[in-house]
Structure 1
């Protein structure tokens, strides 16, 4: 680590990578390197994030094509590509200017100009508006990939955490800190998490940003969708507002102070933990609002935590929406 930090700019080495900032008093990286632990965090491990990220992204493409797509077809999800509006220079120019459906008078003038029926013009704008949106298959495959990875990450972490003493006694995290062996399971878990979120940074420009319960919605299983959402709400609130402050924040704030004493990064870590707790409280408030809306309407509606238009009502095809308005 000393060799790796020596290659960093001087100001970065002093301000961010300084030993006294990261490690407790009277502990140096040299002691970590000279310890009997076969594995410990090294700066060079960060160099492997890029190939791991690329591997995870390639795995996602293979998963979506050979696993998620056949499974979507098995569930009966509409896998047809979105119908595109026929090319029309006049209507395309109007669409780009207003990006929505014109008013009634404007529609009448356009119909006369093109010698079309007004309903045909309305249908063209509906098709044009929807053709840039991802298909149900794309949405389902993305949701299934994220659901599968999160399920694996939870199962894998629970497997190796259940064998550790510090899961059941958080004080074990601070005894003999930081001279803890970096197990292969922890290393794999962290590298996979880094790679997964690294791939999301790359794919965020074309991802749909849908929730896991949306898979049931796409399959038209509304009751299952409601059950998934209720389970999500309960798990989120219990883990974020009960387990997280009682276990994580309490341990870092009180137990670390008692066992090893405060050091420079101690205050910064607690600031981040408390900031995250405030965000959890805000998100829980929005989720509870959604739960009440769901009980009132009988189904899960738009997610208040997101600006993305993700309500189930907007998942219909343009032909269905057009029929609802014209009938």
Structure 2
């Protein structure tokens, strides 16, 4: 274990040339530099945030739902069938015409009956209106957090010299004293993203579960990485740039839940403009410029510098990809007057399908593609997972 610790905390990787961990010991009483052990305080805070959210959902949101007469309605359940259940769990949830024909002959059922069974079986996992209402409280929580952390970050950075001259991120690096405001900014952000990792296991399961889980872990890793090697000044700029648009997307989601479609579309278009400005202009020409060029000039490269900048460049590639997806959604919102549905949901509406006969046997499950009930389940398509940090 000692050998692994020595290898992992190798000074030649983490620190600039001729700098050691001993050099970063506290220079005077009450004055200190960032240390890895500080990050441990984020874990109990994350558990506290998660506990508050669970408490709110169960003891505030759920009673409110009952007062509004929102019930956990039970949909039609598929009749037990061993053969179809095996196909559903191990082969496909949306069988094509070839599978439908084979199962129809095997069970001596009409194709329409087999199709209906699969639809009912898929909808068994559909979250009720009550569940979705309670989950919307999580969106209110995220909106509140993103808005508060954005205001806090703006207030903190407004009086910080590196906000106006990014070269201050590297002057006297890594001997930059950790201020209380900077510490609270970092630990709060880190704790919140740890809480998102925890809450994924209690939220409605969606198709992007694994993607979001990896994304949240990567966010936690990048925040921790920049803290350990004292790149916290530029780290606050990165977090602030991302926070500037996050609360707008959560606001649009809340408008979507409240069925204020026009407000939802308007806020989403505003979010899109700010997202493009911060991720495609400010981030590359302000953040990447200082991490790549100004730091090279003032500090010089070293191994963790290369890794940090490599990760930021990968992040910029993701920004470009996500911006293309958001532009497509925003375009639909402007042209069609409605934000597109959530591609992540595994829920489908059955009312229309129930009334339609099978006209084209080659496309018996044309409605098998995921969609939200009544066109929405409180999230946007690609934009629902675009908004998060690093």
Q: TM-score, normalised by structure 2?
A: 0.65
Q: 1:82 to 1:126 in 2, by over 3 A?
A: farther
Match of 2:295 in 1: 256
Q: TM-score, normalised by structure 1?
A: 0.77
Unaligned stretches of 5+ in structure 1? Answer: 1-7, 112-117
Q: Provide the aligned C-alpha RMSD in A.
A: 3.5
Matched, 1:302 2:341: yes
1:122 Cα deviation from its structure 2 partner: 8.8
Q: 1:177 to 1:86 in 2, by over 3 A?
A: closer
Q: What pairs with 1:1-327 in structure 2 (closer than 5 Å)?
A: 9-14=2-7, 16-36=8-28, 38-65=31-58, 68=61, 79-85=70-76, 88-90=79-81, 94=84, 97-98=87-88, 99=93, 128-135=121-128, 136-208=132-204, 212=250, 213-302=252-341, 308-309=344-345, 321=352, 325=356
- Measured against aligned partners, the alpha-carbon deviations of 1:103-151 in whole angstroms (never above 9, x if no partner) come to 7996x9769xxxxxx99x9988766533422233134123222222222
CA distance in 1, matches of 2:161, 2:62: 41
Contact 2:16 2:299 in 1 (8 A): yes
Unaligned stretches of 5+ in structure 2? Answer: 209-248, 358-390
CA distance in 1, matches of 2:86, 2:71: 26
How many residue pairs get matched? 300
- Larger displacement relative to structure 2 (43-52 or 292-301): 43-52
- Larger displacement relative to structure 2 (212-221 or 34-43): 34-43
- Measured against aligned partners, the alpha-carbon deviations of 1:6-39 in whole angstroms (never above 9, x if no partner) come to xx5424423x311222222222222221423623
The alignment partner of 1:89 has SS state of coil
Larger Rg: 1
Q: 1:41 to 1:295 in 2, by over 3 A?
A: same
Contact 1:174 1:260 in 2 (8 A): yes
1:248 Cα deviation from its structure 2 partner: 0.9
CA distance in 1, matches of 2:152, 2:66: 29
CA distance in 1, matches of 2:277, 2:348: 31
CA distance in 1, matches of 2:256, 2:290: 40
